[in-house]
């Protein structure tokens, strides 16, 4: 049922696609596929990661940020292995991994500094 509805809606919207954009519309990773919409919505994770850059380092969850970074790395690799190669998915996952790596290094650096402060405080 949902497939038939989807196919009918795509054929309806195709009437409004300009002729110049028809190659994008018909592309194997175009707007008629999940390969288009998945990266589009995943940019929300990048925006959230950029928002985390303002977060204090002691409030960053290392396990959560590690998982997000690993996800970005794994899916970036996957997007180049699948057919068709999905460059939009690759780019969004590279940004997910980069924002995660930056937040991760901030959190780890903060933990190391706190550990040093505790050690020097215990010696004094």
| CB burial of residue 69 (10 Å; 0-12, 13-18, 19+) | buried
Q: What is the pLDDT of residue 29?
A: 78
**Residues 68, 86: Cα–Cα separation, whole Å:** 20
DSSP state string for 73-110: HHHHHHHHHSSS--HHHHHHHHHHHHHHHHHHHHHHHH
Q: Using 70 as the pLDDT threshold, list the residues of the chain that sit under it.
A: 1, 124
Asked whether the beta carbons of 89 and 38 are under 8 A apart, the reply is: yes
């Amino acid at each position: 049922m949902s497939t038939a509805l989807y196919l009918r809606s795509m054929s309806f919207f195709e009437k409004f696609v300009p002729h110049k954009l028809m190659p994008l519309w018909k592309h194997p990773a175009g707007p008629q596929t999940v390969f288009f919409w998945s990266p589009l919505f995943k940019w929300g994770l990048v925006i959230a990661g950029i928002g985390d850059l303002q977060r204090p380092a002691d409030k960053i969850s290392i396990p959560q940020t590690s998982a997000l970074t690993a996800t970005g790395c794994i899916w970036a690799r996957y997007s180049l292995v699948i057919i068709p190669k999905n460059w939009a998915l690759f780019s969004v996952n590279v940004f997910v991994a980069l924002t995660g790596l930056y937040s991760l290094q901030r959190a780890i650096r903060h933990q190391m500094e706190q550990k040093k402060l505790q050690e020097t405080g215990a010696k004094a």
